[in-house]
Structure formats: structure tokens, C-alpha cells
Amino acid sequence: MSSEKLLNEMPVVLSAVMDPLDFRSIMMMRKVCHDFRVFIDKVAPSSSKTKILLTVRPYDVELILEDSETEVRYDKILLNHQSLKSFTLQYESRYESEELKCWFEILFDGIIRERTWYKRIPGTEDNFLVMIPHYASEFIMQSKMSSEKSLNEMPGVVLSAVMDHLDFRSILRMRKVCHDLRNFIDEVVPSSYMTRIIVTVRPYDVELILEDSKTGARYTTIYAHRNAQSGRSGCRSIRGFTAISLEFLRHLIEVLLNNQSLKFFSLEYETYYESEELKSWFEILFDGNRPHNSHHQIWYSIIPGSERNFLEMEAVHTITMVKCSQTHFG
């Protein structure tokens, strides 16, 4: 030999030598000397394996190491390798136990959500080891933390598709979840939205019927008055409205106008509500009125944003509000 220089003193050459080597040879080389080991652990050779599959069975444990470049499999263990991105552990279902959960609590830093476990990768700020018990018999690990995306961050088309599968009551509940969802539901009215509201105001309770004519679904809710003794099933403590008031009527008109699919609104009320007080509220709420017959009048308002469409209200024993066009208005 012309020179006494050793391979471990030539990092560039060492790297070039490593490149064509298969995984098993690299593993053998890693055991040659301390310098090789440090080099291999630090500068991951391109032929290194990228996936570990470990199957734990009652009678044995199978370990498969996958090299994505050469597709060679070896039954040897590799740890501390930079190129390793995922780890899959298949296990018998009897291992899905409280004991396993305790081990995870010891091994990982915490739980992100539900069944996801994470551990910060030492030396990095935003890289995490994430473990998700995906199937009943599988774990997946990867080097990047999964996003904590929430429903309101989904694209509008996706959100709309989710809403399409929900019943009306669930949509109403979802509307209360956050501002984003409320705005979305109010602006992009899902197809399953209701087309008819019937409110019956009685001295002891308020009955609310919501109808979805498309699906034929009909939802009835009875709101008992605050002080009433409620012995009926389905009764709930009333919130928001206890009887007809100016604010109550204003709120209902707002509901009717804000919902594109809702065309009709009927409010039944006890006769004692037919009063001057009610008339004065109509004067505040509507743009004007016209005589319908000798007994009563029709109140109307222009629907904001559409000059030709009107909101009409007929009040006899039932207050009925409808959206109609100028031709109907006559």
C-alpha cells in the first residue's frame, strides 16, 4: 500500500463506497469500527432501508426491513437511522389492552387527540414521532406530526358534502359549534335545509315544527315556559322566547330571510295576542300594509337585495309569512 490512510479518514470516499452497498453490508460495516458507526448513523446512505414491519404473534415475532430502493428484505433490526420514516407493528388483538396503553403513556410524551400518541424527536423543533393505532392490529409511526386540522378548516365543497349527509337538527347543532360553521351554514344553505317552520305560541308552551320537504322529515320541539311545570316528554326549558314579543318576531323574520330554501313561515298564537300591541310591532317590522278583506290586512316588506321579492304576512289567528315575487304581490 502506498499510503497508510484508512477508509474511515476519507468521508467522501466512504460515502461513495456506501452508496452501492446493500443494507446488510452497511449493517456489517457499521460494526467494523466506531468511526464507521458514527458516519453511518449520521450520514444515512441512500440504500438504507425505509420501512420496518414487525408482526408480534403469540408464538413468534417477525421482523421485515424494507429497502425501498432495492426492495430487498432482511430479517434484522435497525435503530437510530435517519432514512427510516415509518414503522408498522402488527400485533394480535389481545395486545390491545390497558397494559399496552400504560406502556404508551410511559414511552410517549402525550396524546394529541383520541388514539394518537406523539414524542418530540430529540434535536428537532417541529419533528415528531407519531404513533396511531390504525387498525385493530396495526401501528404506524412516522417522523412528521400529523396536522390537527378541524372541520371548519376543510374546503367548502367538502364541508358542503358533509352537511348534505346531515339531518336538519344536526345542522342546527353544528351551526352553534363555531363562528365559521355558523357563517358557512347561513351562507351556503345545505340541500337538506328546512322549507317550512310552524311555531305555535300557547300560554303554557311554544311548539316548534320544522319541516324538510325534500326528505319529508318533520321535527317537533316543545319549549315549555320557564315557570311551567313540565310533565310532558320532550319538553325542554325554553331559551330565547317565552311568548310573542317584538324581538321574537324580528328573530323569526330574520330566520326566514336568511334561509334561502325556507319559503313559508306560520306562527299560530292564542287569540288574546290579537291586540293593538301586536299591530304596533307589525308597523315597526314591516314596510307597509294593504287591505286583504274587510277583516284584516296583509303586511309586506321588500326582501333586502331583491327589489322584486317581498315578504308578506297575513295575521288572523295565525301569523303566516311567505316569500313572494312582485307578480304575486300584485
82 or 326: CB nearest other proteins: 82
CB 322, min distance to other proteins, A: 23
Binding site for other proteins (CB under 8 A): 50, 68, 85-86, 112-116, 130, 132, 134-136, 140, 142, 144, 146-155, 157-158, 161-167, 170, 173-174, 176-179, 181, 192, 215, 239-240, 251
CB 150, min distance to other proteins, A: 4
177 or 316: CB nearest other proteins: 177
Cα gap 195→227, rounded to integer Å: 32
CB 26, min distance to other proteins, A: 19
Cα gap 99→109, rounded to integer Å: 17
CB 50, min distance to other proteins, A: 8
| Residues ≥6 apart with Cβ < 8 Å to 108 | 117, 118, 119, 129, 131
Cα gap 124→38, rounded to integer Å: 19
24 or 169: CB nearest other proteins: 169
6 or 162: CB nearest other proteins: 162
Is the CB of residue 310 less than 8 Å from the CB of residue 298?
A: no
CA angle 62, 66, 68 (to 5 degrees): 165
CB 79, min distance to other proteins, A: 20
Q: How many secondary structure helices (H) and strands (E) does the chain include?
A: 10, 17
Is the CB of residue 236 less than 8 Å from the CB of residue 223?
A: yes
CB 136, min distance to other proteins, A: 8
114-to-148, 276, 295, 312 alpha-carbon distances in Å: 11, 58, 63, 50
Picking from 313, 287, 283, the residue whose alpha carbon sits closest to that of residue 298 is 313
CB 126, min distance to other proteins, A: 11
7 or 132: CB nearest other proteins: 132
Phi then psi for 326, rounded to 5 degrees? -60, -35
Which grid cell sits at 101? 396503553
192 or 259: CB nearest other proteins: 192
* Secondary structure (3-state) at 88: strand
